[in-house]
Amino acid sequence: MDATTAPHFIPPEMPQYGEENHIFEMMQNMLEQVLIHQPQDPIPFMIEHLRRNNDNVPKIVILGPPASGKTTIAMWLCKHLNSNLLTKENLVEREFSVLSMEAREYYNVYKTIPNAMLIHLIQERMNEEDCIRKGWILDGIPETREQALMIQTQGLAPRHVKVYHTTFDWPPEPEIQNRLVEPDGISELETAQKLMNYHRNIMRILPTYPKILKTISADQPCVDVFYQALTYVQAGHRCNAPFTPKVLLLGPTGSGKKLQAALLAQKYDLVNVCCGKLLKEAVADKTPFGVVIRPFFEKQMAVPDSIIMKVLDQRLSQRDCIEKGWVLHGFPRDLDQARMMNSVGHNPNRVFFLNVPLDSILERLTLRRTDPVTGERYHLMYKPPPTMEVQARLLQNPKDSEDQVKLRIDLFYQNCEELEQFYEKAITLNGDQDPYTVFEYIESGIINPLPEKLA
């Protein structure tokens, strides 16, 4: 069911529950495994699959030419993700495995391992308890398209595939350089042969993984390569599950929340919900809530949270918000308001903190001016008035004075830490960039699944 297209009313709790518990992905993965393995009795098979609960453990393939640093990155990822490294060497050298013993004997004679035997070694290892619980990282396998297809037919599909280019890690100390020796198998002729085999096979392997492939240039420091790989592994793939965005934008005054909300509403047809504007509209329309709010406005007092929440609850419960989704800004401003919003069932599924330095905010706000004659708004730096005559009559809103701006910024950051802890899956962005660059980051955070926090 899709709340954005269905003609019937779907309670908001249903899609929210589905997304929080990854129901769609769980059913999709289970269906894939049933179709791959085709068990005689699907029900026990599905029950066992659910008991394993390992759809989100690392399942990674790392490929690259000789000396590309892929083994180093694979070892670092294994340590960081607490997973298992699988190479052709450690698969063959395993003790207490009849299949490994046969593979060693075959390799000692023919200096190679048949594809079928290698795939059975991989399957045997992946069916062990530690690989089921912690996942696996295949280093340098598959080597050919045939191996890739055989791995897929066994249902051993990776979730991420990374390909590296060549890099070098030469030790800086002359003493170490002088005592280095050349290992067997890496002479110029042997390396050239390995490179030729790699390039001949890799172009046939890559089409096997069209949607999960990530190419990383390894001609950069190893640490940078590692963090690019780690970021890719922890980022979930885009899912086909129905999704109704409920976006919350948080940030200090002047961080660009209003503009970003307008851009999101325009592109994705979300309902743009500005809390301050809601209260003003309620007063202007003389609604029952507006009558209660008016005295607070007239006395320039803060409207009680309970009243704000009733107005907001009424708006977010309307059909357009439920069907289209919404982008909210201006509320909550502190932990109590966040808890209150959560208690009435309005939980955002994407939260963004826009960070902007104080100097940039002061530049954005304190230089704003209004022409009292025409009502036109100007900015002394970004949109200066056309003539000196216009400039002479410009006025500044008292809220844009430096003292008032600093006061509002301080108030936000007093509550910011608690809000960040409450919205633990929030995405923090640098808001001190071109607005459309910020929008692209927000858009990416909405379209793609939230990063997984792997052990």
pLDDT of 216 reads: 82
pLDDT of 454 reads: 42
Long-range pairs, 178-185, Cβ under 8 A, ≥24: none
pLDDT of 455 reads: 41
- Percent of the chain scoring above 90 in pLDDT: 37
Q: Which of 293, 283, 274 is nearest to 331 (CA)?
A: 274
pLDDT of 242 reads: 67
Per DSSP, the three-state class of 401 is coil
pLDDT of 5 reads: 52
pTM for the full predicted model: 0.64
Kindly report the average pLDDT of the chain as a whole number: 84
Tens-digit pLDDT profile for residues 59-83:
899 988 877 778 888 899 999 889 9
Strands 160-164 and 350-355: unpaired
How far apart CA 226 and CA 16 sit, in angstroms, is 34
Lowest-confidence region among 212-216, 237-241, 259-263, 372-376 = 237-241
Residue 362 has pLDDT above 80, yes or no: yes
How far apart CA 136 and CA 159 sit, in angstroms, is 10
| Cβ atoms 73, 140 nearer than 8 A | no
Taken in order of first residue, the domains within the chain and their CATH numbers are: 58-170+192-234 (3.40.50.300), 246-275+326-447 (3.40.50.300)
Residue 163 has pLDDT above 80, yes or no: no
pLDDT of 24 reads: 80
Instruction: Write out the DSSP string of 202-220.
Output: HHHHGGG-SSSEEEE--SS
Average pLDDT over residues 240-256: 86
Residue 348 class from Cβ within 10 Å (0-12 exposed, 13-18 middle, 19+ buried)?
Answer: buried
Alpha-helical regions (H) of 248-347: 257-268, 275-284, 288-298, 305-316, 319-324, 335-343
**More confident call, 453 vs 340:** 340
pLDDT bin (cut points 50, 70, 90) of residue 439 is: very high
Tens-digit pLDDT profile for residues 1-36:
444 454 455 666 676 677 777 788 788 888 888 888
How far apart CA 268 and CA 392 sit, in angstroms, is 41
pLDDT of 204 reads: 85
pLDDT of 371 reads: 92
| Cβ atoms 63, 164 nearer than 8 A | yes
Eight-class DSSP state of 399: G
Q: Which of 72, 164, 149 is nearest to 118 (CA)?
A: 149
Residue 369 has pLDDT above 90, yes or no: yes
Q: Cα angle at 312 between 310 and 314, to 5 degrees?
A: 70
Tens-digit pLDDT profile for residues 174-186:
664 455 445 555 5
Average pLDDT over residues 421-438: 90
- Percent of the chain scoring above 70 in pLDDT: 87
- Name the one residue in this structure whose structure tokens are 């929340």: 257
